[in-house]
Structure formats: structure tokens, C-alpha cells
Structure 1
Amino acid sequence: MSTIFLWVYQRLHTNTSAMSSIDPIPTTQLRLSSGNGPVCRTVLTTPLRDADPSEIPIIDIAGIFSTALSDRAKVATEIRDAATNIGFFYIKNHGVPSEVTDDAYSACLHFFRQSPDIKNRANIKQSKYFNGYKPPMSQRINPFESIDVRETFSWTYDPRYDPAVASLDTIPPHIARYLRYEDFHWDATANIPHFKEAVVRYWRSCLVLARALVHSFALSLNLPEDYFAEKITHPDAAFALNYYPPIPSPGSSMEVGKDNKGQVSIGSHTDFQLFTILWQDNNGGLQVLNRQGQWINAQPIPGTFVVNIADYLQRITNDRYVSTVHRAQNWSGKERISMPFFFGFNLNESCGVLDSCVAEGEERKYDEISCEDWVQRRAKAMHKTDSGA
């Protein structure tokens, strides 16, 4: 791919010193899938560096559980600032006990360290609804980059484990028709004591946290806190356990900025629905493309989750909130685990651009689209696994 040059008049950071604001900086074009077809992003070929706190802030969200509106509003303001700047932030004091994440992490390692034959008992090809195990060389989230160097165990929303659902009989038919749940993947992992228990407990904790965060997002958009309540009764709340074996780090002879042509643990992409809550281990590898087109590391911070805005939330905020491109490259030399929880509206719901996100004289950039149609559009565009892409 040919290299072009971009004059950058603002200060860019590196690991050692600030780059000159007058030097021409080479760029490349990054291709990736979107809900509207392939898109390109201009990427600076500056060295990968760690994000500083002003770029990916740490937000103390203890206030979202407060009875005082002022405390909840303060958190909402911080979320709005992060969502409009980069679309990524860390959260601490989130209410999920460390033993919940520790147990899920331990169960995750136990599963992935098994032999391929045992793991393939849970192979997703045997599932009706895309639950279960995806082996090595079976995922390519960005069709313009390498096959993902990862294995995954994933699970879609199951109302039987939702603490807010009293019984399946209470689910209205117009919602129930979108719910797809099964026991195949749990039966196939029954050889691991407490695997299901640990994973479901983690998922339930994230579900409770996500619903609380939705209230904060509503406040951040100058809406009543319960504005989205009816849209998250049976949400599109899926999760994945990702196992990333180490990949070779770029050698000293590798041309700066060309590492996007090499192996990726998970390719460059944006997420589908409202937001993602991510737990990651201490080995690092998560990279975020900032607003200046520079790759930065979202380093692990103990006791926190990473939260990032997804595409549907960007749509309904008329691009006020940013769904940011990210990827992972595990150069740690160790196995890496991440546990993302993906949260969105019920699949039977739809939402257009919010009135509070349209200024006087401004046009709505997007038509209303159902969550089911949006997710299907994104999934078809992204999950291409053949090596010929």
C-alpha cells in the first residue's frame, strides 16, 4: 500500500519525547468492515505508545450507585467527556468483586489449556445459535488483515440466568421470538468443575453493571435516567472468553507503522451495539486508534474494566459518541486472556437518532434501524474466516 504524507500541527507523544510539530509524518490506510460496507482510516506511522490518562481516562463510577442525583450526574458528565473524545475509558469501583473475575479467569484458563479434542466437544459448529468454542484459525474479524491468532468460547444472552427475569413464562411473545438459548455448550464443558458456575456468575455481574451504566448514559445524553429501560429488558448481552497465544513482536528491522500487515491477535474493528465491558489480564495487547489516527496501548489497570462505545450508540447519538477502532496484538511472550461483555438493546427494539443529539439546523445522519437488522448487517460484514480475503 502506498505511503502518503500528512502535516500534523499538534503535539504527538512517543515513549521518549514529543515529535516535532512541523515534520511531515507518513501515514497508511487501514481498511475495515462497517455496517455500511468497507471503510478506510488514515493511520499515522508513529511508534506504538502507551495512552496517557487524558486520552483514556479512569472514571470512578461509585457514584452511579448513589441515591443522590448529583453523584450520578457527576459520573454521567465524565462518561460524556470520554465518549465524545475517544470512546474508551476505564471504570473503577464498579461493584464487581475481584473473586468473580478471578474465578472466571481461572475457569477460562482451565478450558483453553485442554487438548483440542476435548475443547472441540464444544465446537460452535454443533450449536444452533453460535454458542461454544471457536478453534485456532477459525476467526477473521477484519477481512483485510490476518486470520486472528486466538481461540474463543462465546455465549449469547440467556434469560434463564438473567436476575431480572422472573420466569420464561413472563417474556412477551414479541420479545421471546428473538431469544436463542441452549445448553449444548454447558453440556460440552461439564468435565470442568465449576466452569459454568464461574462464567455465569461473571456474566450476571456484568449484566447488572451494564444496566446501571445505561442509566448513566441516558443522563449523559440529557435524558431521563430510565429513558432506555424498556429497551434493555432482555438485552443483546453476549460475552466471549478470548485466549491469545503469543505472537512474534515486530523486529528492529520492521518498518515503523507496518505492523498492521503482520499477525493480529484480533483484527482492527469496532463493536456492534451500545458498549462493551472488558476485563483483561496483566499481559497487555489491547490497542486503540485515537482521533489523531495513532495507535495507542490501553494498558491493563488492576481493578478496572475497559468500556468502549459501539456502533449503534454512535448512530443514535448522531456521531456525538465515538465508536473507536481497536485491535489486539499479544507480544507479551505469554498467553493472554480477555473477557469482553457486549451489551445492547433487546433485538426486537429499534432506535433512531435521539432528539437530544440533534442541534437546531442539524440533520439526522442515520435512519432508524432495528437492532436485529443492525447486528446481522455487522456480523455478515465482519466474521469472514476464509484465508483468501
Structure 2
Amino acid sequence: MATSDDIPTTQLLISSGNGPVARNVLQTPLRDAEPSEIPVIDVSGLFRPSLADRQAVAHQIRDAATNTGFFYIAQHGIPRPTTEAAHAACLDFFRQPAEVKQRASIDRSQRFNGYKPPATLRINPFESVDVRESFSWVYDPRYDPAVADVAQIPPEAAAHLCQEDFPWEATANLPQFKAAIVDYWRACLELARALVRAFALALDLDEHFFDSKVTYPDAVLAMNYYPPLPKPAGDDAVGRAQSEQEVSIGSHTDFQLFTILWQDDNGGLQVLTRQGQWINAKPIEGTLVVNIADYLQRITNDRYISTVHRAQNWSGRERVSMPFFVGFNWDESCGVLDNCVAEGEEKRYEEISCAEWVTRRAKAMYKADGFAEGKTAVPSS
């Protein structure tokens, strides 16, 4: 039987907060993930009064976070009609003429709100331009049910927050758009805070350890629209999928704590295992995908894995995904947690604020871009 040492590899470059990072990728055909690689976790226990129930879920999350860094969640509490309405709103928006979508251009936003048209995004400067369109909406405290009075937000936190009506004014021609997107964003935000507590339990901390750091979180909803890519011919099509090939979204890791992803049933999400093999994270009805991001890997001293992933939409149909990116408040910072440092180990990372880390990650794509023969890198929210 051949071992991984016998399989040819190619080198994949990705950008990071510490410059370009190289990964060796096995030249094997793309395969579906095994349940042990990307498990399905029933998270209904997180919403029960029993601490033991919540801890049982947290232990499963810990196992997944230290293995592939990806897992599905079932019984997550987001009603299907809420998700379906948001999906329909996405399609309504992206199927409009280009000039109508451009009214919502991100160029008009104070932050990262709004529309990004085709051929303007390259999440990985070493691969092709992303074949997608996107619409993002960043955290706005006016829509957070946990914020009783926006005027009472501490100045150090308020300085990083964006409150603008532009995204909704620019999409007012779609009467259901704002309501559907805000409802889904709120549902994701509630779930995200429950998962933050679960991650605290998974790290053997008090479940409210991080609560003060997610009062006004970096909670960004992105809606991605992927037209179909031509599927390469041949049995080794995916094994050959490297930087010269078209990607729906390029190989990357996420910036902050974790991401909650809804994907439609067309497939296309691919995850790079620790052994260097691309595997499919196929859609599973009724579930969401959660993946660990860089900041959580940092504060756990690499206990939890921020895994490289990408998408290639070879379904022959349009594909929609709705990632919800979760991070601490921008004014917060966190160093490596003491209980993630074993005896004889050292803390591998310095403490850094979330604002500085996200800024560093975004800038790193531009720096890496210079390393990649002048290609234009555009960070994705």
C-alpha cells in the first residue's frame, strides 16, 4: 500500500499575518470527507439548562477543533424559514442587472458593507481571481437585540463600530431583502454567542469567560454568489487544481475566531487536511459548517486548527454560500491562554488586539501580492 511519502506533492502558497505560508498538497483525487474528519455535532445541548449537556457538546467541539478544525452542527436553532428567506434574498439581489447591483457598491461604504462585483476579489494572491460576487454586512449595534442602548456603548468600543443605512437604501428596490438578511444575521449572532460559550467550556474555562469580549463583536455576514466553473476533464481533475486553475474562492484561512457557514446543496467547499489532501465538505441537509479561524488558533497556542479551505463550483449551477464570521470586539485583545500551554512549552504568539490582527491579515494579502508578480489582492470581509 502506498504511503503519503510515495505520493507526489505540489506547493500551495497562502497569505497569513506572518507573510506567505507554503503547504505541501498531495496529488490525489478529491474525495468526500469521512465522518471522523468533519463530524456532525448535535448542538441542541447548548440550549439546555443542564451544564452537563452543554459540556458534552463542548467536548465534541474540542475533538473536532483539534483534528481537522471543521465540523457540521445540527439542531442549531436557526429556523429553516429564516435561512430560506435569506437564501431567496441573495438570489433576488445577485440576479439583478449589474448596474442595479452597483448602487450597493462597497466603494460607497464607510467600512466593508455592500456589493463587490465579479473579478474584483482575490482572497489568495497566488491563485486566480475569485469567480464570485459578494455582498457583506458588518456588525451594526442598532440591530443587536443584546444592545439595549447604543448611546451607552463605551467610547473605546464605539470607535470601531459602523452604523450606516447605505446597504438598505441601496437595496430598497427589493422590499424583502433587508428583513430577510437582518433576521438571518440576528439568528447567527445568537448562535455565535452560544458557540463562544461552548468554546470556553471546550477549553476547560468558565463558559462565560469570553462573554465580555463579544458584547459588540466582529460579526460579519457575507453572501457569496458563485457562477459555475468548467470542470476539468480527467480522473485527476481535482488533484491538479492548483494556483493556475480557476477558483470560486481561493485557498485561505479565516481571520478571527470561527465561521458559521450555510451552503446550498450544490457543493464546492473543499478542506485541506493536516496530511495535505483536499476533501469535500459536502452539504448535509439541516446543518451548518463551522470552522476555526486564525485568532482562535493563536490564543490556543495551535491546539485548535485554522484550516485552509477553498471553493470550486463545478455543479453546473449557480451556487450561494452565506458565511457568518465571528470575532471578539475590535477593541479587545487576548494572548495565548495559560491552560493551552503545556509544561515545557512556550507561548508561540504575542498578545494582539483584534483590530490589529484583522488589519494585519488584510494587509498581508497585499504584501503577498507583491510576491506574486503584481496581482491585485482584495481582502474579503
Would the TM-score normalized by the shorter structure come out above 0.5? yes
| 8 Å Cα contact 2:29-2:235 kept in structure 1 | no
2:288 aligned to 305, 310, 320, which one? Answer: 305
Q: What does 1:1-389 correspond to in 2, within 5 Å?
A: 20-21=2-3, 24-252=6-234, 257-260=239-242, 261-382=244-365, 388-389=374-375
Q: Return the letter of the residue paired with 2:232.
A: P
Q: For residue 4 of structure 1, what is the aligned residue in structure 2?
A: none
For residues 214-266 of structure 1, give each alpha carbon's deviation from its aligned partner in whole angstroms, at most 9, with x where no partner exists: 11000000100000010000000001000000001111286662212210000
Q: Superposition RMSD on alpha carbons, in Å?
A: 1.6
Tell me: CA distance 1:186–1:24, structure 2 relative to 1, closer, same or farther (3 Å).
same
Q: Aligned pair in 2 of structure 1 residues 299, 279: CA closer, same or farther (>3 Å)?
A: same
Residues in 1 aligned to 2:330 and 2:184: alpha-carbon distance in whole angstroms: 22
DSSP 3-state at the match of 2:215: coil
1:7 is matched with which residue?
Answer: none
- Given that 2:29 and 2:236 are in contact with CA atoms closer than 8 Å, whether structure 1 keeps it comes out as no
One-letter amino acid matched to 2:88:
S
**1:281 touches 1:338 (CA, 8 Å); kept in 2?**
yes
Q: 1:255 to 1:298 in 2, by over 3 A?
A: closer
Provide the rounded CA distance (Å) in 2 between the counterparts of 1:100 and 1:55: 29
Q: CA deviation at 1:382?
A: 3.0
Distance 1:168 1:67 in 2: 30
- Give the conservation status (yes or no) of the 8 Å contact 1:129–1:181: no
Which letter maps to 1:358? V
CA–CA distance in structure 1, aligned partners of residues 87 and 286 of structure 2: 14
**1:388 to partner: Cα distance:** 3.9
- TM-score, scaled relative to structure 2: 0.95
- Report the secondary structure of 1:100's partner residue: helix
- How far off is 1:181 after superposition? 2.3
Q: CA deviation at 1:109?
A: 0.2
Local SS of the residue matching 1:259:
coil
Question: What TM-score results when the alignment is normalised by the length of structure 1?
Answer: 0.93
Distance 1:295 1:138 in 2: 26
Unaligned 5+ segments in structure 2 are 376-381
> Contact 2:29/2:237 (CA < 8 Å) preserved in 1?
no
Native 8 Å contact 1:34 1:381 kept in 2: yes
* 1:299–1:256 CA distance, 2 compared to 1 (3 A): closer
- 8 Å CA contact retained: 2:28, 2:236: no
Q: CA, structure 1 residues 367+115, in 2 after alignment: closer, same or farther (shift >3 Å)? A: same
Deviations 1:155-200 (A, max 9, x none): 1110000010012112011111111221111100000011000000
Q: CA deviation at 1:23?
A: 7.3
Question: More displaced, 378-387 or 235-244?
Answer: 378-387
CA contact (8 A) 1:121 1:188 kept: yes
Single out whichever of 23-32 and 106-115 deviates more from structure 2.
23-32
Identity over the aligned pairs, expressed in percent? 68
Output one character per residue of 1:335-378: Cα deviation in whole Å (capped at 9) or x when no partner: 00000000000000000000110111110000000100000011
Distance 2:238 2:351 in 1: 41
Structure-2 separation of matches of 1:128 and 1:206? 23
CA shift, 1:288, in A, is: 0.1
CA 1:69 to 1:111, structure 2 compared with 1: closer, same or farther past 3 Å? same
List runs of 5+ in structure 1 lacking aligned partners: 1-18
Other structure's SS at 2:329 match: coil
Question: How many equivalent residue pairs?
Answer: 371
